[in-house]
Structure 1
Amino acid sequence: MRLVIARCQVDYVGRLTAHLPMARRLLMMKADGSVLVHSDGGSYKPLNWMSPPCWLEEREPDAAAGQFKELWVVSNKAGEELRIGIEEIEHDSSHELGVDPGLVKDGVEAHLQELLAEHVETLGAGFSLIRREYMTAIGPVDLLCRDADRRTVAVEIKRRGEIDGVEQLTRYLELLNRDPLLSPVAGVFAAQQIKPQARTLAEDRGIRCLILDYNALRGTESNEFRLF
């Protein structure tokens, strides 16, 4: 991982446009190819980013960008660009983190996965389970299933569905769709609660969202105060 602290301006050009004016920021270039721009606030979320596969090119700034000493352009196969104009670099270091052992899920999330595997028809009529924790080169897919038409479906399960979960499932789908024995692979983002921004991103990428009822899956849903 490469970490750079720099005074920089960031412009995203693609399906949407976004501009970050000149300020001190942390630029993070990860081994998986992703590039993230962080400030000192906003918790763990980057201000802007480019997901892999993407490519970083360090260019000489043109005359119109005379305030920059360096211009970094991150592009992807869709032709989108993250343009980082650097005024000054204060820190630049690289670190080898090695292979990550993966996230250890809490009891509720792990139990949701177990229950959904047992009641896979919750995903839709005709669904069948291929495998839980289907291992890939970048981590395990929670559930790998087949739908009623025998198409492969990858399911990512969260307690609380946020944008990072959608990004995680997107990476799995990109990898799984390279396998001719599995493709085409569709995605389902399943959670007890899904934030509106995460739902918008998922649906924009063709990923179906599903709200999970933990009590109903456990078979302990209360009928009290119901007429029917």
Structure 2
Amino acid sequence: MRLVIARCSVDYVGRLTAHLPMAPRLLLFKADGSVSVHADDRAFKPLNWMNPPCSVKESADDDGTEIWTVTHGKSGEKLVLRIEEVQHDSTHTLGADPGLQKDGVEAHLQELLAEHITTLGDGYTLIRREYPTAIGPVDILCRDGAGATVAVELKRRGDIDGVEQLTRYLELLNRDPSLSPVKGVFAAQEIKPQARVLATDRGIGCVTLDYDALRGIEPDTPRLF
């Protein structure tokens, strides 16, 4: 990864045009061929970016201003960076990333749900946890009471990204004739309304999990019986 802090302007040239005036910015050139332009706010969201594959050409105009042109390898769209001053320029090799590790609660949810798989419905049986696919492991793969394959994606808080992730798994799993048809279940302690709407629209079931109940802990609220 190459990190550059520079005073620059940025012009996007493609289906639309956009201009960022001269200002100090962070430029990220990643090993996957992506390029993004960041300010010192907006959290993680870049001001402008280009997905891979990209190529970068460094040149200069007639007055000596550095011009860095980022060109997308397929669409031909461009980011044109005019560099007034480079304050920092370094390259770092990060290597392969091990991927996101689930936090303790999420990992424990997976373990508990696998142990009590009938929480999802009568007749459910476990195939395995962390079922491997080419794009990452499915949290739980199981069969319902009718024998159909079910892929379960687990989250502490279920949002749209989780539904999108499960959708990608289902698309891949349904190509395997030994598993298809594969249904999806999105399970979480809390599911956001937008995620529930998207899941329902895509034929994915939603299950709200009670962590304490899965652990066998009685609720604090008093009961008559």
Shorter chain as denominator, the TM-score bin is 0.5 to 0.7
Tell whether 2:111 aligns with 1:108.
Answer: no
Q: Scaled by the length of structure 1, what TM-score is found?
A: 0.64
Give the structure with higher Rg (CA): 2
Show the counterpart of 1:142: 139
Alpha-carbon offset, residue 102 of structure 1: 2.3
Residues 114 and 136 of structure 1: CA distance in aligned 2, closer, same or farther (over 3 Å)? same
Alpha-carbon offset, residue 110 of structure 1: 0.6
Consecutive unaligned residues in structure 2, runs of 5 or more: 2-8, 21-26, 54-69, 84-91
- The alignment-based identity, stated in percent, is 61
Q: CA RMSD in A?
A: 4.2
Show the counterpart of 1:22: 18
Contact 2:140 2:151 in 1 (8 A): yes
Tell whether 2:148 aligns with 1:151.
Answer: yes
Give the whole-Å Cα distance in 2 for the aligned partners of 1:27 and 1:199: 35
Give the whole-Å Cα distance in 1 for the aligned partners of 2:122 and 2:35: 40
Equivalent position SS for 1:122: helix
Contact 1:36 1:46 in 2 (8 A): no
1:90-129 correspondence to structure 2 within 5 Å: 99-129=96-126
Moved more, 101-110 or 143-152: 101-110
Show the counterpart of 1:191: 188
Alpha-carbon offset, residue 226 of structure 1: 2.2
Q: Scaled by the length of structure 2, what TM-score is found?
A: 0.64
Deviations 1:77-103 (A, max 9, x none): xxxxxx997574569xxx997653222
Give the whole-Å Cα distance in 2 for the aligned partners of 1:108 and 1:136: 23
Show the counterpart of 1:219: 216
Residues 124 and 138 of structure 1: CA distance in aligned 2, closer, same or farther (over 3 Å)? same
Residues 225 and 177 of structure 1: CA distance in aligned 2, closer, same or farther (over 3 Å)? same
Show the counterpart of 1:182: 179
Deviations 1:144-192 (A, max 9, x none): 0001111111001010111221121111111111111011111111000
Residues 151 and 217 of structure 1: CA distance in aligned 2, closer, same or farther (over 3 Å)? same
Deviations 1:39-95 (A, max 9, x none): 756545689xxxxxxx99xxxxxxxxxxxxx997x9xxxxxxxx997574569xxx9
Aligned residues: 193
Residues 10 and 206 of structure 1: CA distance in aligned 2, closer, same or farther (over 3 Å)? farther
Consecutive unaligned residues in structure 1, runs of 5 or more: 12-19, 48-54, 57-69, 75-82
Residues 43 and 222 of structure 1: CA distance in aligned 2, closer, same or farther (over 3 Å)? same
